[in-house]
Structure 1
C-alpha cells in the first residue's frame, strides 16, 4: 500500500524528473510533440502504462501539447505510484521525440 511522500522525498525524486513540478497535491508536467498524431501516440502509450499500473493520470491534450496531472486521490496527495508513473511518462515521451515544456 502506498503512503504519502514527504516534501524531502519529493524534492529528492524530482531531481530525476526534469520538467515535473509539485503543485499542491499534484505532480504536473507538460510535453510538446512535433505534431498531433505523435501527441496522440504518447497519450495512447501512457494509457497502456497507467492501466498496467492501475494508476491513472488526468490528461489534457491541446493540439500537440499534452499536460499530465498525477495524484493518488485515495491518499490525498503524492505517493511513489505518482513518481513511477511520471518516470514512465517521461520515458515514453523520449521514445516519441516529445519535448518537456518545463
Structure 2
C-alpha cells in the first residue's frame, strides 16, 4: 500500500518521464497508447500488462480498442497521484509492448472533464453525484468510480457564463500544437491568455471548451 509520502514531485515526474518516452503525465497519472500489429497482438499486450499488474499488485486502467491499447497508471492509495510504482509499471508495460511489436502513440490519449459554472457548488453537486453514480474527490470534483465517464468539477464564480457547462480536453503539451492549429482553422475564437496551461475556445454560438495541457488544471475561464 502506498502513502502520500510516496508521491513524486513534478520535477521527479519530469525526470522519470525523460526515461519513459512512451508516456505522458496527465491529471495525476501516467498515460500512453500502444498500437499493436494486429488486434490479437493488442489482446496479448492487455494480458501481459494484466499479468504484470498482478505480480506488482498495482493495476492500471486499460482500454482495448481493436489494435490499440490505452493505459493509465495512478496510485489511488496515495491520493490519485504518481508514485515510483507507476513509473516502474509504465516501464514494464513499454517493455511488453516492444516484445509484441507494438509502438507507442501517446498523443492519442486524451482526457475529458466537464466543468460547471456555479455560484454555490454545494447546492448542486449532490444532484450530479447521485444521478451519475459518481464519488466525490478531495477537491469537491466528481469522478466515475470505474473510470468510464468524464470527471465533473465545479468552477465557483459569482458571474456564471450564459453557457454554464464546458468541456476541458486534456492533451500533453508535446502534442497540443496540432490540435490548437486545427481548432483555430475552424474559425473558433481562441483565447490564449492562459497558454500553455489552457486555451479557451468559443464556437460561433458562444459555446466554450478548453484545450488543456499538463501545465494547468481547473482553469478559471474568462467571463463574457
Rounded to whole Å, the distance in 2 between the matches of 1:69 and 1:13 is: 15
- Cα displacement (A) at 1:74: 1.0
CA distance in 1, matches of 2:26, 2:86: 13
Counterpart position of 1:67: 70
More strand by share: 2
Report how many aligned residue pairs link the two structures. 102
Aligned position for 1:16: 19
Structure showing greater radius of gyration is: 2
Partner of 1:55: 58
Distance 2:51 2:69 in 1: 16
Q: Under a length normalisation based on structure 1, what TM-score does the superposition of the two structures give?
A: 0.96
Aligned ranges for residues 16-95 of structure 1 at < 5 Å? 16-76=19-79, 77-95=81-99
5+ long unaligned stretches in structure 2 = 107-224
Query: Which structure's residues are more often helix, by fraction?
Result: 1
Q: TM-score, normalised by structure 2?
A: 0.45
User: Aligned Cα RMSD in Å?
Assistant: 0.9
1:49-93 Cα distance to aligned partner (Å, 9 max, x none): 110000000001110010101000011211000000000000000
